[in-house]
Structure 1
Amino acid sequence: MTDKENGWPDNPGWSELKLPDLLLVDSVREIHARIEAEWDYLQRSACQMAAGRALWKHVIHDPLAELLAGEACLRNLHEKIKKDRSNNAREISGVILAVRTLWFDSKIEGALTSINGRDSQVVLLGAGMDTRAYRLSCLKESDVFEVDFSELLQAKATLLNAAIEPPNGHHHQQKAKSLNRVAADIRSNDWLEKLKTAGFASEKNTVWVLEGLLYYLTHSQALQVLETIADQCTITHTVLLADFMNKPSTTLSNSVFHFYCDWPDHLLPSLGFSTTTLSQIGDMDAHFGLMHDPLNLFNKIRSLPRSLQTHPDDGKPCCRLYLVQASGSPQLQPSHKDNPQVRKSLSE
């Protein structure tokens, strides 16, 4: 069965992996060799996400993704895709990452449009190998802040320099009004101060992007991050874009995930956000023509009550990924916030 017969977009890149010339440059190969040897799973996940964008380039335009992913991650995902295609899998490896990327792209643009985009900020927490500052035109009036580990940001900057310097530079011009990289560990309590030192202005309209981040944190760390962002709602118009896993998603064997929340649309109002909307992979605004099979994992459970932990038909865990947009402003403050114990119960 071909990709078209199976409902998948035609992607010649899936048939044969052709590495870009830049990945074969000695200095670039040395950086990726160091990444493979020295980075932990959390840091390497940034390259894995870039590999997803690179191999789903028929739906995501990211010319820098291959360079940031590196050969090892590209080959690993490519092999998984080949295996999925040969087995006529209902979900091709990387499809969830592709849907998630497209959802965040569309919501960032929508949020900036709603606040007219001018004099606004976009903060990418746990930015990893994100390239939105180079590929999203909607950021042209926005100051962008990328927050992540120092060694990750340094490696990323070195790799990008290889792409944006002549003769390649004219292909990869920055689209954001400004780009500031902030070395900070969001698991600590000083990341907001470091962000402010880098030029973040609390009084400016801000879109906070937490993509593929929260579930790597402990419950206390995740709540600290969410509470810190929610506090900004008392200062200025604040938009949060984040993805949440439910409990079954984090309790599978070999899981490296910790934080989960079955009811993020209840948790976020308890922290101070006035409006919250939630989507699941496969919903109207979260499929982008890629979740075509009604029997794939996510489509099978969308119609089931969210309280169910296992599927009644086969007993398999109901693994859900929630895509959530929340917002708040000084003019729209909730009448009260729930106490810490209520927040803890909602996040668990």
Structure 2
Amino acid sequence: MTADLSGERESFAEVAKTALWTAAARARESRRHDRLFDDPFAATLAGQEGVALLSHFHPSHAADEGNPFLAIRTRWFDEFLLRSARPGCQIVGLGAGLDTRAYRLDWPETAVVFEVDQADLLSYKESRLSMAGAEARCECRRVPVNLTDDWVGALSDNGFDPARPTIWFAEGLLFYLPESLARYVVARTAELSAPGSLFAADLIGTGIFRFPYLKPFLGKLEAAGSPWRFGTDQPGGFVQNCGWLVDEVVEPGAPAADYGRWPASVAPETLRDLPRSYLVEAAV
């Protein structure tokens, strides 16, 4: 499968700011007595700039309770990965950013985690974690490449084996991509997946782009050079059309994505133009 990616490279120059922001959110969650996960490296990665970005992008993100979806999303992906991993498995994080799961989760023996993202971001993470004396709990292979370039070739160069089952995850990634690129990336993961492979991602609904309350937040993301570009109101259909068999689609507030933190039940699908987020799990 091929895609015309001309003209897309410029749009990924500033995503490090959103990575710092989400790292700061993980650090905040880790300080809570009722935390949904513990990321002991998040504060080191976020730094003071990440803390400042919490309030810059959205004032409510700076409050102690923050945005519950960020904590729920991290916990949901943690559970997916730990439930899915097997000894000797390969795990690929697309747009891995400042993710620290290779360092904080208990992986099975001989598991290998591939982290795919921009070179500068991965270099920053490696430097900060090294200064903090952090040690990975599995073999971690960083793959410095933009998704607009030959990321499949870069994965292969780092030892990725498409003949082995793979656990793919794309957390906080797809809505930053143009729709054509998002489809291409997800479709390529399906093409590269041996039987037994799994895929997980989060997606946003199109109502987010029309919800008045979120317009200032979206404007700040655009000003930072990392706008949200793609949403879908059929997240399961999107993933399935890319070659996967969808097992689950959940919204925050559903039993499988609540953890006692979401402040309300899932809104009925008949209510349009609401800011919806989705968590999708699929298999080949």
Same fold (TM over 0.5): yes
Q: Which amino acid aligns with 1:144?
A: V
Q: Is the 8 A contact 1:139 1:175 kept in 2?
A: no
| Cα displacement (A) at 1:118 | 1.8
Is residue 2:197 matched to residue 1:230? no
Q: Which amino acid aligns with 1:47?
A: L
Q: Deviations over 1:199-249 (max 9, x none)?
A: 11111111111000000000111000011011134x332211100001011
In structure 1, the partner of 2:113 is 144
Which of 1 and 2 has higher RCO (CA within 8 Å, sep 6+)? Answer: 2
Match of 1:103 among 73, 76, 84: 76
Alignment of 1:177-326 (within 5 A): 178-188=139-149, 190-233=150-193, 235-251=194-210, 252-254=214-216, 255=218, 256-291=227-262, 293-294=263-264, 299=265, 302-305=266-269, 308-310=271-273, 318-326=274-282
- Distance in 2 of aligned mates of 1:286 and 1:140: 28
- Distance in 1 of aligned mates of 2:70 and 2:230: 19
- Distance in 1 of aligned mates of 2:87 and 2:108: 9
Q: Is the 8 A contact 2:88 2:108 kept in 1?
A: no
Among the aligned pairs, what percent are the same residue? 30
- Distance in 2 of aligned mates of 1:224 and 1:83: 35
Residue 195 of structure 1 aligns to a residue whose secondary structure is helix
Q: Which amino acid aligns with 2:145?
A: A
Mark the CA change 1:65 to 1:179 in structure 2 (over 3 Å): closer, same or farther. same
Q: Which amino acid aligns with 2:187?
A: E
Unaligned runs of 5+ in 1: 1-38, 86-91, 165-171, 311-317, 329-348
In structure 2, the partner of 1:173 is 135
| Cα displacement (A) at 1:198 | 0.8
Is residue 2:39 matched to residue 1:62? yes
Mark the CA change 1:84 to 1:143 in structure 2 (over 3 Å): closer, same or farther. closer
Unaligned runs of 5+ in 2: 1-11, 219-226
Residue 15 of structure 2 aligns to a residue whose secondary structure is helix
| Cα displacement (A) at 1:159 | 0.8
What's the RMSD between the two structures over aligned residues? 2.1
Alignment of 1:26-175 (within 5 A): 40-57=13-30, 58=32, 59=35, 60-77=37-54, 80=59, 84=63, 92-112=65-85, 117-164=86-133, 172-175=134-137
- Distance in 2 of aligned mates of 1:276 and 1:41: 34
Mark the CA change 1:193 to 1:82 in structure 2 (over 3 Å): closer, same or farther. closer
| Cα displacement (A) at 1:82 | 9.0
| Cα displacement (A) at 1:94 | 3.2
In structure 2, the partner of 1:20 is none
- Distance in 2 of aligned mates of 1:126 and 1:120: 19
Residue 168 of structure 2 aligns to a residue whose secondary structure is strand
Q: Is the 8 A contact 1:232 1:238 kept in 2?
A: no
- Distance in 2 of aligned mates of 1:51 and 1:94: 12
Q: Is the 8 A contact 2:55 2:61 kept in 1?
A: yes
**TM-score, normalization by structure 2:** 0.83
- Distance in 2 of aligned mates of 1:216 and 1:78: 20
